[in-house]
Amino acid sequence: MKKLASVTILLLGIMLIAITAEFPRWGDPQSPASTYLSPHFIEKTIEETSVPNIVTAVLGDYRGYDTMFETTVVFCAGAACFFILGAFRREDDDQIRYFRHKDTGVVLKVKPNGTRPNSRSDFERIDPTWTPYDFIVSRVASLMIPFIQLFGLYVVAHGHHSPGGGFQGGVILAAGFLLLALSHNLRTLSARVSNKTLGLMSASGVLIYAGWGALALLFGGNFLDYSVLGVLLGLDPIAARSMGILIVEIGVALTVMSTMVIIYNNVASVGAYDEGL
Amino acid sequence: MLDIIVVTLLVLGLIVFFGGSLGIVRFPDFYSRLHPAGKMDTLASLFMLGGLALYELNDISSTSVLTALKIMLILVFVFIASPTATHAIVDAGFRAGQKPWTQGQPRR
């Protein structure tokens, strides 16, 4: 059996190598890809969509279905992570909790049925695997996060003109959130943006993309044909395509950003959301 | 004249980068390897990016000044981020129980 398998693999390998010889040569002007499709994209992108960045035009307009389902896959990844790790866990009360007095640094250990300090008092809850508050790292991270987020917004908005777009910008935006979680702790992140909000944002990103495409149906165009939405935006059909790509990219960025943070939250806290690393 | 300064800065940056890489390969343990990684790379980026910013200022126009300013911004970012990252890594290593190398021990 093992011999049979190795002979089969060997034959398949020889077949693959033989087929490789039939492929068009690298950069062959006569190959099917170079004869009609690539020249069309390279020559007609500006006059058809008024987007200088061809990659964004292909991704957001010519190949809109593909990108829509890529966004859905990202959303599904976040949802799967949530369902595998977090669905059947609640914030259980049968655990020992630690509270630190903010002014003196005294740490209280509260047993499962003990009375906890009021959440608005001078005490803050800390993790069992609590590590000292690192001044340098958290200060520098707080200093840099606004700039990282701003840069992420630029990357999303400038996807037409420079390398970038929804996926890349979304990852940069998420990196800002993750830096906050890493430099402080997970609860600092959860206090700013809850897991529920993240889930809603993740779903609404897909909704923006698909809804914008479906809106074109109402205006008498095809699905994801942004040019008919120029009436809505007050633009001519060509400029409407460019604007449509931007709106779609915003949806992609929302989904990617929140899904990254959801995956981090789930994996870092094993589905519990509150304890952190 | 400006070209000479630019080339000098770039070559200096290369030398410092080379020293940093050599240190990462040759030093005996985790902490001492982070020393060249954190310090030399930061200094070498100062030389390299400073040289590139000067090269952009070869002809003074609004675009070239803007580009030089952007390069200086990257420099500021690297100067804040790189030592902090090294600090965080050393901190994490210390908490994870990495023992520093002392004389006579084998390389790790």
Nearest to A221 by CA among A31, A61, A33: A61
Q: Do B80 and A131 lie within an 8 Å CB cutoff?
A: no
Q: Does A147 touch chain B (CB under 8 A)?
A: yes
CA distance A269 to A192: 17
Torsion angle defined by CA atoms of residues B91, B95, B96 and B102, in that order, rounded to the nearest 10 degrees:
80
pLDDT value of position A277? 39
Question: What chain A residue is nearest to B94 in terms of C-alpha separation?
Answer: A131
Indicate whether B27 belongs to any domain.
yes
In a domain, B16, yes or no: yes
How many separate domains does chain B show? 1
Q: Give me the pLDDT at residue A187, please.
A: 76
Question: What six digits make up the tokens of A43?
Answer: 């020559």
Q: What strand order describes the sheet that includes A123-126?
A: A107-110, A97-101, A123-126
Judged by CB atoms closer than 8 Å, whether chains meet at B91 and A137 is answered as yes
Q: Does B87 touch chain A (CB under 8 A)?
A: yes
**What is the complex's ipTM, to 2 decimals?**
0.79
Both tokens assigned to A150: 């701003």
So where are chain A's domains? 51-90+134-269
Q: Residues near A129 by Cβ (< 8 Å), separated by ≥ 6?
A: A275, A277
Convert the pLDDT of each residue in A239-249 to its tens digit: 888 888 899 99
Å between A162 CA and nearest CA of chain B: 15
Q: Domain containing B75: what range?
A: 1-96
Q: What is the pLDDT of residue A276?
A: 42
Closest CB to B84: pick one of A131, A140, A147: A140
- Selection from A22-31, A191-200, A229-238 with the highest mean pLDDT: A191-200
Residue B14 belongs to a domain? yes
Please report, for residues A179, A188, B16, the alpha-carbon distance to residue B89 in angstroms, rounded to integers and kept in the order given. Answer: 14, 21, 22
Beta-bridged to residue A110, according to DSSP, are A97
Q: Is residue B75 part of a domain?
A: yes
In a domain, B107, yes or no: no
Partner-chain contact A134 B84, CB within 8 Å: no
Residue B108 falls inside a structural domain? no
Residue B105 lies in a domain: no
Tell how many helices (H) and how many strands (E) occur in chain A: 11, 3
